[in-house]
Amino acid sequence: MESTETGIGFQEYWQILKRRWLPALAVFASVLALTTYSTLKEKPIYEAEGKLLFKKTTPGSTLTELGKEMGQLTPAAEQSNPLTTEIELIRSVENIEKTISILQLKDANNTPIKIKNFLKNLTVASIRGADILTVSYKDKKPKVAADVVKTMMDFYIDNNQKVNRLEAVSIRQFIETKLPQSDKNMRKAAADLSKLKENNKIVNLEEEAKSAVLVMAELETQIDQANSEFLKATAKSKAFEEELQMNPQQALTASNLSQSSTVQEALKEYKQIERQLAIEQNRYLDSSPIVIRLETKRATMKALLDKQIQQVLGGQQQSPNQSLQIGEVKPKLIEEFIKVDVERQGLAQRVTILSNALAGYKQRVKAFPRLEKEKRQLERKLQESEADYEELQKKLQEIRITENQQVGNARIVQRPSVPEEPVASRKSLLLVSGSLLGILLGIAVAILLESQDKSVKTIEEARELFGFTLLGVIPFYKKPEKNPRRREWRLKSAEEDLQLSPRQIVVRDTPHNSSSAAYRMLQANLRFLSSDKELKVIVVSSSLPQEGKSTVSANLAVAIAQLGRKVLLVDADMHCPTQHGIWELPNQVGLSNVIVGQAGFGDAIAQVMDNLDVLPCGVIPPNPMALLDSQRLTLLIKQFSASYDAVIIDAPSLNVAAEALILGNKADGMLLVVRPGVLNSGTVAFAKELLKKSSQHVLGLVVNGVIPKNEPHSHYYFTNESYAQEQSPNVNQKIL
């Protein structure tokens, strides 16, 4: 399966190259010509080479631990190679600029050579399995090549030693800069820890937590006991309140009033006046002076009594139903009631005080984890600061020892010599590379041009874009040229291959060629397309003009007529009628005249061969749609269907007018003609949309004008066997 798919892909690319061979060939020839010209102008090039040896550690670097780390040649990343880093250092811009400046290297224009051109000639590589780098340089002058390698290697060695020495100095300076800050951080950490303990009164958080738990348990016990006593006192107070029918405040007020002699005397006198007034009201009228005098006296006494009560109560309001008589108050019960209420209030205050104390302890205990965390963080920070300070002190002592050491982990093992022989000529390699590059660019240009071309080129593309059944493939047919040799050797352009074939009735004129066989296959496919209903009226249309729908209509009609079936070919393309030209018939009277009643059907048709009648278009009307969408045409089609075994209607293209859609709805189905090289993907989308919206019954596709050499799968549709009689002069040219 995989091999089949690979073969198909190769065939598709081969077809692209066959279609775009001219621009691809032009690109290939241009690249090859440039490569050949550059190769011929190439001059001999000399290459000088030197070698550097690297050691993992430098001499004397192991005297101290810090010096050992500094002198090692180790990679920074896990998968990096330290020699690769050294290669980039040798190729650094600084080294190159110094070399160009000292040696005064210039290009062909007598200007200092550019860095990018210098790098093209410079090669720095590692030897596999050894800690050795090779440095080589190519130049047309052998001495210049040797001088460049020597200069760059000397620069690198000097820089390597300088960098290693300066590294120790920079580390010492860095440590000396960091020491005061480390000491400051250590002191600050100690101060922060001390401040935390002072602000939060921390001595020993663990012991304090244990003590707080015991105190909280004791407070909870006391709160429970106080709540119990408070509930008892509250119950007693409620009992007194129900018995005395007064609250504690009223009881206190009644006690004060009952113990006041002035209030009791005034109350006694007020009661006497009321009794006397009641007696006199029974004896006299309300208007009697005695009654009026007693009422005035009672009011005066009432005011005096109220004044005395206010003095005793100190501005408090007296309850309306509160008794003022000494005899109505139980002094002992009131006194006991007041004592119980005072006890209840005291117990409530005790519960509040104990609850506040418990809440304070809980808040303190709740803060213990945070304080412990902050304390541990500060202690850890202090430990880290102390360790950092001690480590810096230790490193400072070590780096002072290492600073005076002369470190370097690279040395020259092979100095460059002036080359005597040029490097091997690569002209043949350049020519091969140029040829391959030209081929690749040519293929790329061909594929690029193909991708920009949106036209439908193959049968498979047409089937995939339309999604309809493929009923027939009509090969491109052209009359054979008189000169066979010229026909064989003449190169045809793409435009010529896409030209319409002459409008010939190949089924009648050359019945033994492949085109005739294709039309006969088409009529056979149409005949077996519908088994339950015979297809009698078929509309033939296309997406665009110049796709050969009229030629297909004529040849299909001939193929059906040759089977002995009676066929009517109707030219309904009233925009560009063609059938009268194909059959060489007059067009004065035709379908348009029959529709409007200017001529009879029998007068308009013409028999062109046995079993085949042609109804030309006739006079082109100003509004073809009005005629083709009329009820008269519908009746005519029914008449045609009744009189003939098959009716082929040549309709206009879909993008020209809507008549094809109207005719398709009046027929049994529509046959869509497609021509590769004429149709494009945008037109296909537009045509499919029209067919879908108008609910057309599309029978299938007929791919017309197919050039076998442009089809990657032509063997699926065309036989390799040539027809012996296809170009024979003895074949009848016309079948009547």
Domain boundaries, the chain: 210-369, 459-480+492-717
pLDDT level of residue 1 (50, 70, 90 thresholds):
very low
Q: Are 541 and 575 in contact (CB under 8 A)?
A: no
Residue 651 pLDDT greater than 90, yes or no? yes
Please state, in angstroms and rounded to a whole number, the distance separating the CA atoms of residues 559 and 556. 5
Q: What is the pLDDT of residue 76?
A: 47
Neighbouring-strand partners of residue 10: none
Segment 45-79, tens digit of pLDDT: 888 888 888 776 554 444 444 445 555 555 544 55
**N-to-C CA span, the chain:** 51
pLDDT level of residue 326 (50, 70, 90 thresholds):
very low
Q: Are 596 and 627 in contact (CB under 8 A)?
A: yes
Phi, psi of 18 (to 5 degrees): -65, -35
How many Cα atoms within 13 Å fall on the side-chain side of residue 291?
A: 11
Lowest mean pLDDT, pick from 103-117, 304-318, 534-548, 564-578: 304-318
- For residues 480-499, average pLDDT: 41
- For residues 650-668, average pLDDT: 90
Comparison of pLDDT for 353 and 313, the residue scoring more? 353
Q: Are 537 and 570 in contact (CB under 8 A)?
A: no
Q: What is the pLDDT of residue 638?
A: 93
Q: Are strands 410-414 and 122-126 parallel, antiparallel or unpaired?
A: unpaired
Q: What is the pLDDT of residue 592?
A: 92
pLDDT level of residue 490 (50, 70, 90 thresholds):
very low
Segment 78-92, tens digit of pLDDT: 555 777 888 888 888
DSSP secondary structure letters along 656-724: T-SHHHHHHHHSSEEEEEE-TTT-BHHHHHHHHHHHHHTT--EEEEEEEEE-GGG-TTHHHHS-SSPPT
Round the average pLDDT of the chain to a whole number and report it: 76
Please state, in angstroms and rounded to a whole number, the distance separating the CA atoms of residues 213 and 92. 72
pLDDT level of residue 569 (50, 70, 90 thresholds):
very high
Please state, in angstroms and rounded to a whole number, the distance separating the CA atoms of residues 150 and 156. 10
Q: What is the pLDDT of residue 561?
A: 95
pLDDT level of residue 711 (50, 70, 90 thresholds):
low
Please, which residues have CB within 8 angstroms of residue 148's CB and are 6 or more apart in sequence? 48, 99, 103, 105, 122, 137, 139
**Tokens representing 229?**
């006593």
Please state, in angstroms and rounded to a whole number, the distance separating the CA atoms of residues 613 and 647. 10
pLDDT level of residue 165 (50, 70, 90 thresholds):
confident
pTM: 0.44
CATH of domain 459-480+492-717: 3.40.50.300
Q: What is the pLDDT of residue 723?
A: 41
Residue 486 pLDDT greater than 50, yes or no? no
Q: What is the pLDDT of residue 56?
A: 64
Segment 613-631, tens digit of pLDDT: 999 999 999 889 988 889 9
Segment 84-133, tens digit of pLDDT: 888 888 888 888 888 888 888 888 788 888 888 888 888 888 888 788 88
Please state, in angstroms and rounded to a whole number, the distance separating the CA atoms of residues 564 and 612. 9
pLDDT level of residue 317 (50, 70, 90 thresholds):
low
Please state, in angstroms and rounded to a whole number, the distance separating the CA atoms of residues 637 and 646. 11
Segment 514-534, tens digit of pLDDT: 888 889 999 988 888 866 678
**Tokens representing 124?**
């720095």
